[in-house]
């Protein structure tokens, strides 16, 4: 694989674009709106600075070579005409993805592999619209891909074993650690592990058993983990956490989501991004 097209240039799309380009692949960044491409260039340029600061082997030349490997397009047919793989990082919305895959299926070359970065929509729910079930797979990145470099690889029952192995190779060649999932699992491995921890912490606070700092300290000191659930929630962002937890029917989670709304979100304390959540952050 040499030519990769990424659909969507938002938070994750832009990271996948630069990570792939930084490792020497030719990448086409696609957004349906031409006006969004200028924003994508800015976002990717800012990301490249993060690479320079965070990666010990990054040099200004390597950073620039990565930027030079990226082309930008708002014409889907043109963006995918030479693609060995299309990585889809569109908004997590079934209707948007269904429309995009239906269009893509009709115009992408037969050889092109489609990979979805969807977090909660299962690949088997998108597969019927791809027109190539054997060449469709999930490739799930974690936010801040250059340092949190897991690539969860998860096929459907229809994905060909060769395509699966190609993805494992691609992940390694782009500086990712391939995480091989043997059958479809909602939440992949990462969220299957993380969400129960965050829920447990939320219930301990929501149920009035202990304060966030003590819950976090227990987890950190007794297990050696670098962060407890509330430190993680501050990174995820309290709005995202609230949106997920507000759907729960568990009384302790409901109590927790009320505290989060009234004491944090309504006061503009959204986590690391705003400088304060459960903890205060300085630049
Ligand atoms: N944000 C995360 O931490 C994270 C982590 C792992 C996976 N994901 C998954 O990655 C996907 C993208 O998430 P995100 O956080 O980057 O979302 P985002 O909203 O930041 O980005 C979506 C991008 O798609 C563009 N877009 C919208 N409709 C389009 C269309 N029809 N064609 C082309 N581009 C279109 C938007 O302009 C935007 O650039 C989702 O499936 C999400 O579940 C997100």
Q: Given the structure tokens 């690889």, which residue do they identify? A: 153
Q: Ligand 1 atom closest to Cα of 30?
A: 33
| 233 C-alpha to ligand 1 centroid (Å) | 20
Per the DSSP assignment, residues forming a β-bridge with 139 are 153
Q: Do domains 3-181 and 190-274 have the same CATH topology?
A: no
Rounded Cα–Cα distance for residues 3 and 251 (Å): 50
Q: Which of 187, 172, 195, 166 is nearest to 253 (CA)?
A: 195
Domains of the chain by residue range: 3-181, 190-274
Rounded Cα–Cα distance for residues 80 and 51 (Å): 27
pTM for the model: 0.91
Residues 91 and 8 sit within 8 Å (Cβ to Cβ) = yes
**Mean pLDDT across the stretch 254-279?**
95
Order across the sheet with 177-181: list the strands: 70-73, 26-30, 3-7, 85-88, 113-116, 136-141, 150-155, 177-181
**Measuring from each residue's beta carbon to the nearest atom of ligand 1, which residues come in under 6 Å?**
7-13, 31-32, 36, 89-92, 96, 100, 117-119, 140-141, 143
Rounded Cα–Cα distance for residues 83 and 67 (Å): 18
**Mean pLDDT across the stretch 92-96?**
94
Residues 109 and 81 sit within 8 Å (Cβ to Cβ) = yes
**For the chain, percent of residues with pLDDT exceeding 70:** 100
Rounded Cα–Cα distance for residues 55 and 146 (Å): 8
The architecture (CATH level 2) of 3-181 comes to: 3-Layer(aba) Sandwich (3.40)
pLDDT of residue 120: 87
pLDDT higher than threshold 90 for residue 159 = yes
190-274 CATH, one of 3.90.180.10, 2.40.50.100, 3.40.50.620, 1.10.1040.10: 1.10.1040.10
> Mean pLDDT lowest for which of 21-25, 32-36, 201-205, 241-245?
241-245
Q: What is the CA radius of gyration of the chain?
A: 20
Tokens representing 238 are: 């309290």
pLDDT of residue 136: 98
| 213 C-alpha to ligand 1 centroid (Å) | 33
pLDDT, tens digit, 9 for 90 and up, residues 166-206:
999 999 999 999 999 999 999 999 999 999 999 999 999 99
């Amino acid at each position: 694989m040499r030519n990769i097209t990424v659909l969507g240039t938002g938070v994750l799309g832009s990271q996948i674009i630069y990570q792939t380009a930084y490792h020497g692949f030719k990448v086409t960044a696609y957004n349906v709106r031409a006006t969004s491409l200028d924003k994508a260039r800015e976002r990717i340029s800012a990301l490249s600075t993060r690479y320079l600061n965070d990666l010990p082997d990054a040099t200004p030349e390597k950073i620039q070579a990565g930027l030079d490997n990226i082309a930008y397009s708002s014409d889907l047919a043109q963006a995918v005409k030479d693609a060995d793989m299309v990585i889809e990082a569109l908004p997590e919305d079934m209707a948007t993805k269904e429309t995009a895959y239906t269009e893509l299926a009709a115009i992408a070359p037969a050889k092109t592999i489609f990979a979805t970065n969807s977090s909660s929509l299962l690949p088997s729910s998108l597969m019927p619209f791809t027109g190539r079930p054997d060449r469709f797979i999930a490739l799930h990145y974690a936010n801040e891909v250059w340092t949190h470099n897991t690539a969860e690889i998860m096929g459907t029952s229809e994905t060909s074993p060769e395509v699966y192995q190609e993805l494992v190779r691609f992940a390694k060649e782009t500086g990712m650690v391939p995480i091989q999932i043997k059958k479809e699992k909602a939440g992949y491995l990462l969220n299957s592990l993380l969400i129960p921890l965050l829920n447990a912490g939320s219930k301990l606070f929501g149920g009035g058993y202990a304060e966030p700092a003590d819950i976090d300290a227990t987890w950190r000191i007794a297990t050696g983990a670098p962060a407890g659930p509330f430190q993680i929630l501050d990174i995820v962002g309290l709005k995202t956490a609230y949106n997920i937890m507000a759907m729960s029917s568990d009384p302790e989670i409901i109590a927790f989501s009320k505290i989060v709304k009234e004491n944090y979100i309504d006061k503009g304390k959204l986590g690391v991004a705003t400088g304060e959540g459960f903890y205060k952050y300085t630049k």
